Amino acid sequence: MAETISTPIHRFDAAEKAGGLASYIADIGFDGMLVAKTFRSSRPRARIRSIYLPELPEGYTVVDRRDVPGKNRVHMIEDDWPFFAEDCVNHVGEPILLIVGPERAEVLRLLSLIRIEYEDLEPVFSIEESIARRDSPIYGERNLIAEYALERGDPDRAFEKAARIFEDEYRTGLQEHVYLEPQGVTAVYGGGRITVYGSMQCPFYVKSALEQAFGWEGDRIRVVQVVTGGGFGGKEDYPSILAGHAAFAAYKTGRPVQLLLERSEDICCTTKRHPSIIRHRTALDGNGRITAMDVHIMLDGGAYAGLSSVVLQRAMFMAAGVYSIPSVRVRGEVLATNHVPLGAFRGFGAPQALFAVEMHLQSIAERLGKEPLDYKMSHVLRKGNTTITGGCVHHEVKLPEMVGLAEAMSGYRNKRVLSDRGKDGALQGIGISLFFHGCAFTGSGERDKIRAVVKLRKDQEGKIDILVSNTDIGQGAQTTLRKIVARTLGISSRDVRYDNPDTDRVPDSGPTVASRTVIIVGSLLEQAARDMKVRWNEPGEIEVTKRYKQPDYMRWDQERFQGDAYPTYSWGVNVVEVKVDPITYEVKVTGVWGIYDVGTPIDVKVVQGQIEGGMTQGLGYATVEVLEARAGKLLQGNLTDYLIPTSMDFPRMEVRLVESSYKQGPFGAKCVGELPFLGAAPALAAAVQHALHTTINRIPVTPEYLMEEAAR
């Protein structure tokens, strides 16, 4: 096999050097580069009987499972997800093979001539169907991708003694990430090594997946993140699949290979947020106080395991929300279906769980004739309380202060009492949500699995290089991490370099997920900068390495899910005001307020951007972002059919930060990225429930859904 070493050609070099345009993966070419496109399954579940391939012109080739040098499985948690389909396909859009060649138009023509003979098998399209089909499963035993349980206190006794018991069921749907830049990678084979350039969140995830797929030692695999136009979790796992495809093609052809997804293909085939069914059963004593909760969380995991097991864990740990409940039982399941695999998305299971518990307490309060906010506040966690997993709330909880601000800013109480119909005849409502987010990886993830390493390097001119694997995907890591280092050293941020990660150059500081970049990696960089400051006047190049050490106060039992699931929490309060048209049932958001405790913000503008973007994304999840599947195929396959909110859809958001200080975080900072998403949906649903005096138990809250409820 011929080996070539190619040099990337950036089409916008001059503009980049002038501080202008950035080169994304579609802007980066190589001499002799080929184009790859994927032939995908049209069936949700079927056995492949035969494949008809057209005659290929010279210079064009097919790449399939036979071209995987090592293991045809993407290295994640279960290693069950094939790079290419083998005997069967298990979801619409599953990759079967690639056509690779020099001209895109010819590659597409050849793809259109491929024919597959399928033997259709009975598919499963919902959580309920997956449960019903446990005697003839499509995945493992009983169609279970993952199953866990946790318990604290004595829930059985609490339910036996309960004065009243309330039961509710809540449902959430699919959600598409809609990052601005669709996914894409380019692979180069040369010198006995594979190099992959890509739009991604987690370069070392990709590297690990390629090591297994090729069966090579790590020094033969290099992964480079290029400028990335958004991720929201959607570029955590799926780039490993694309990197494998491009790398296999580059290895087979000896030429650089680029694989770019168009928007419709990206929507059709990449991971989504897990749909959920969550059932709450809650015991109250004679005074109306909650004594126990029994929660059953069911997630649709799609065709393969992916990251679903850890998504489920975070959902379970958020099942009781910000509330102190003496006895709790939580059961969690991820059910297999013949949908596209479901994966990471901002919040990572917490949005589903927090929507359910917030609406459940809202409804309990209303049925008891109590003001929901007062009822919620009578149960909130405080410093020193015990969490759902038996851990301790180690740090101050500023929810009372935050709620006071929310009430003053929004006029919540007056509007709850006075609002009914506006002058335009619309029904008016206002709702509030209380929420938190556990910072960093769940449980022992940071300590046992990631074990983050960071480096700082000072050259002879006094310039500093940040060497970490964490990526800037639009969330502001470039600004924030450079400011942490510069401020610690007492130098200008202009003297701190933070290039996109290259696994040949940087240590593995862990993935850019779980709101961990500032609180974990930023803290390690602050420590490294302190050490470097002491050594500043040493001659020559200076390099400082720091490794993650879990805080001494943390205790965690992964087998029983007991102890401190997170080192600390960031907190939020959202208020949303709506008008509902009594004829069309269209929901119009007329007010949005957010109060947040994220510790000490490193850069207020970055935090503000994260908050406003997260709240907008959460309101979209709650209202217009309808994503449905029919026979396993997504119906909203483009941005004409899949609606996302714009700046014109919501009023100006009023946001306030309540500062606290987390001493293990850099300059007192906690986590930010996922928190702003979590409270918008339950606050909006509560507002609609208030306006219509009905029960809202699912999102998105569409006019069609509200009409169904009104007709009951």
Cβ proximity of 440 and 514 under 8 Å: yes
pLDDT of residue 712: 81
pLDDT of residue 19: 55
Residue 257 shares a structural domain with residue 316: no
pLDDT of residue 10: 53
> Taking 60 as the threshold, does the pLDDT of residue 5 lie above it?
no
> Taking 60 as the threshold, does the pLDDT of residue 618 lie above it?
yes
Query: How would residue 582 be classed by pLDDT, with cut points 50, 70 and 90?
Result: very high
Residue 241 domain-assigned (yes or no): yes
Residue 516 shares a structural domain with residue 630: no
Residue 552 domain-assigned (yes or no): no
Residue 1 domain-assigned (yes or no): no
pLDDT of residue 9: 63
pLDDT of residue 1: 40
Query: How would residue 424 be classed by pLDDT, with cut points 50, 70 and 90?
Result: confident
Nearest by Cα to 310 from 299, 295, 302, 321: 299
Residue 497 shares a structural domain with residue 565: no
Which tens digits make up the pLDDT trace of 91-146? 999 999 999 999 999 999 999 999 999 999 999 999 999 999 988 899 988 899 99
Instruction: Kindly report the average pLDDT of the chain as a whole number.
Output: 95
Residue 429 shares a structural domain with residue 538: no
Domain endpoint, select from 261, 285, 310: 261
Domain endpoint, select from 497, 512, 547: 547
What does residue 544 show for φ and ψ, rounded to 5 degrees? -125, 135
672-700 average pLDDT score: 97
List Cα–Cα distances, 554 to 117, 197, 453, in angstroms.
Answer: 56, 38, 20
> Which residue range is the domain that position 77 belongs to?
8-121+191-261
pLDDT of residue 418: 79
Residue 306 shares a structural domain with residue 244: no
Residue 14 shares a structural domain with residue 65: yes
> Taking 70 as the threshold, does the pLDDT of residue 13 lie above it?
no
Total domains present in the chain:
3
Residue 363 shares a structural domain with residue 494: no
pLDDT of residue 135: 84
CATH number, residue 503: 3.30.365.10
Residue 285 shares a structural domain with residue 368: yes
Q: Lowest-confidence range among 2-16, 188-202, 631-645?
A: 2-16
Cβ proximity of 553 and 559 under 8 Å: no
Residue 699 domain-assigned (yes or no): yes
pLDDT of residue 134: 86
Domain endpoint, select from 230, 261, 292: 261
Residue 642 domain-assigned (yes or no): yes
> Taking 60 as the threshold, does the pLDDT of residue 248 lie above it?
yes
Cβ proximity of 282 and 360 under 8 Å: yes
pLDDT of residue 7: 62
pLDDT of residue 419: 63
> Taking 90 as the threshold, does the pLDDT of residue 2 lie above it?
no
pLDDT of residue 23: 92
Q: In percent, how much of the chain has pLDDT > 70?
A: 97
Query: How would residue 3 be classed by pLDDT, with cut points 50, 70 and 90?
Result: very low
> Taking 80 as the threshold, does the pLDDT of residue 238 lie above it?
yes
> Taking 50 as the threshold, does the pLDDT of residue 167 lie above it?
yes
Pairing of strands 193-198, 221-225: parallel
Residue 167 domain-assigned (yes or no): no
List Cα–Cα distances, 438 to 222, 251, 388, 551, 556, in angstroms.
Answer: 32, 42, 12, 15, 14
Residue 201 domain-assigned (yes or no): yes
> Taking 90 as the threshold, does the pLDDT of residue 16 lie above it?
no
Q: In percent, how much of the chain has pLDDT > 90?
A: 94
Which tens digits make up the pLDDT trace of 384-423? 999 999 999 999 999 999 999 999 999 999 999 876 677 7
Helix axis angle, 604-622 to 680-692, nearest 10°? 50
Residue 74 domain-assigned (yes or no): yes
pLDDT of residue 486: 98
Dihedral, CA atoms, 311, 317, 322, 324, nearest 10 degrees? 170
Residue 363 shares a structural domain with residue 292: yes
Which residues have a Cβ under 8 Å from the Cβ of 6 and sit 6 or more positions away?
A: 30, 31, 32, 33, 188, 190, 256
Residue 312 shares a structural domain with residue 375: yes
161-172 average pLDDT score: 98
Residue 240 shares a structural domain with residue 292: no
CATH number, residue 16: 3.90.1170.50
pLDDT of residue 6: 57
What sign does the dihedral 196-270-272-94 (CA atoms) show?
Answer: negative
Residue 102 shares a structural domain with residue 231: yes
Which token pair is 609? 């951007």
Residue 88 half-sphere exposure toward CB, CA atoms < 13 A: 17
